[in-house]
Amino acid sequence: MIRDHAFIACCGLLALLTGCTQTSGEAVQQSTRHSEFSRESSWVPAPVNPCMLLLAREVEEALGPLQKKPTVGGTAIDGTACMYVGNTRVLSVGVLSTMAFESRKCQPRNVALAEIGVDAYAVALSPADIQLFARTGQAAVMITLTTERAVSDMIRKQMVKDLARIALRRAPS
């Protein structure tokens, strides 16, 4: 326990020394909602089946018809993921540790997102892929969406934001 607190303190000091208070030129926004949550950090992902965070019908509203049932498979850094496969779109929803969420937060291409959970950021992986990381006080999720290139970045970003909000409502707060 003491070692965990020391590690978290060292990470915070490192972030302060390296100037990791911004994400992709945007200040990481601190809303009044953030203070309402107990924000615990752990290297152990929340004990949640990632396929329970989004219902197939919710994903179909965004992706269109699924080719098969959602299946557990793949990873979310240090946790597990669930795959949803549509005709031209693939969604992966993973549960990762809150420390993994924090450790990836200062990547140079990340863009801070407001009004999703306690904290959130996204990164465009390619012209057809976007990855969103979001967390509650005790759980973190990683959502990766691959679409056809014809889908605009704005629509792709809105899709993952909407799905992240739904997933976080079912994650431990």
Residues 141-151: tens digit of each pLDDT: 999 999 999 99
User: In this predicted model, which residue has the larger pLDDT, 7 or 41?
Assistant: 41
Helix 56-63 with 153-170: angle, nearest 10 deg:
170
Could you tell me the sign of the dihedral formed by the alpha carbons of 83, 43, 28, 35, in that order?
positive
Confidence of residue 80 (pLDDT cuts 50, 70, 90): very high
For the chain, what are the domain ranges?
2-170
Residues 88-145: tens digit of each pLDDT: 999 999 999 999 999 999 999 999 999 999 999 999 999 999 999 999 999 999 999 9
d(CA 6, CA 171): 27
**Residue 113 to residues 11, 30, 69, 173, Cα–Cα distance (Å):** 22, 11, 30, 18
Q: What one-character DSSP code corresponds to residue 46?
A: P
**pLDDT greater than 60 at residue 20:** no
- The answer to whether 93 touches 81, Cβ cutoff 8 Å, is yes
Identify the pLDDT of residue 160: 96
Task: Record the pTM.
Answer: 0.79
* CATH classification code of 2-170: 3.40.1000
d(CA 76, CA 26): 25
